[in-house]
């Protein structure tokens, strides 16, 4: 049997290891780029209003499914992910653990459906202003977005948490 680890081979092994580490770095950078967030906005809130909704179009341009698991924003004490459904004639919101993002698809967070809920607002969200938020994805990691504050719709406020 020949020598198993001649020095030259060992060096080659180390070089390969370094190359693999480099590839991992590139791979994770690419996976972050597979999530595209567009038209991120929040609804304006009245003074004293405790919570406000946030919306966006989230495209998973990657080849594997991902999941939005958390959102962080300095304007609110905490941010929850909600879904909305009709209960008789009352809109009800329910917290969800995450929002699934199938590969190659766009999921729209919109009024009346899935949305971000900014809980414990530190002040009113004013039309024309914008604020930063960080979206955390299971695979793609953190994606920073800016939400533009848009006028609250004429939708009646028959919502319950
Ligand atoms: Cu909500």
Q: Give me ligand 1 centre to Cα 105, in Å.
A: 23
Q: Give me ligand 1 centre to Cα 35, in Å.
A: 23
pLDDT digits (tens, 9 = 90+) for 80-139: 999 998 888 888 999 999 999 999 999 999 999 999 999 999 999 999 999 999 999 999
* Predicted structure pTM score: 0.75
Residue 136, phi-psi category: left (phi > 0), alpha (psi -120 to 50), beta (remainder): beta
**Which of 139, 142, 141, 143 minimizes the C-alpha distance to 64?**
139
pLDDT digits (tens, 9 = 90+) for 4-35: 555 555 555 555 555 555 444 444 444 446 99
The number of angstroms, rounded, from the C-alpha of 33 to the middle of its chain's C-alpha atoms is: 13
> With contact defined as beta carbons under 8 Å apart, do 51 and 157 qualify?
no
Indicate the pairing of strand 141-150 with strand 35-43. Answer: parallel
Q: Give me ligand 1 centre to Cα 103, in Å.
A: 26
Domain spans, the chain: 1-32, 34-160
CATH superfamily of 34-160: PCu(A)C copper chaperone (2.60.40.1890)
């Amino acid at each position: 049997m020949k020598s198993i680890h001649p020095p030259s081979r060992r060096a080659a092994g180390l070089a390969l290891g370094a190359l693999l580490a480099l590839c991992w770095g590139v791979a994770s950078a690419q996976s972050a780029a597979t999530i595209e967030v567009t038209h991120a906005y929040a609804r304006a809130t009245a003074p004293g209003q405790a919570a406000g909704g946030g919306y966006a179009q989230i495209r998973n341009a990657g080849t594997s499914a991902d999941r939005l698991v958390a959102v962080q924003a300095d304007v609110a004490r905490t941010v929850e992910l909600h879904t909305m459904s009709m209960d008789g004639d009352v809109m009800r919101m329910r917290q969800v653990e995450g929002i699934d993002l199938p590969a190659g698809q766009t999921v729209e967070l919109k009024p009346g459906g899935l949305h971000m809920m900014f809980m414990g607002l530190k002040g009113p969200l004013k039309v024309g202003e914008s604020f930063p938020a960080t979206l955390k994805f299971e695979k793609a990691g953190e994606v920073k977005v800016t939400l533009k504050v848009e006028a609250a719709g004429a939708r009646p406020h028959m919502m319950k948490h």
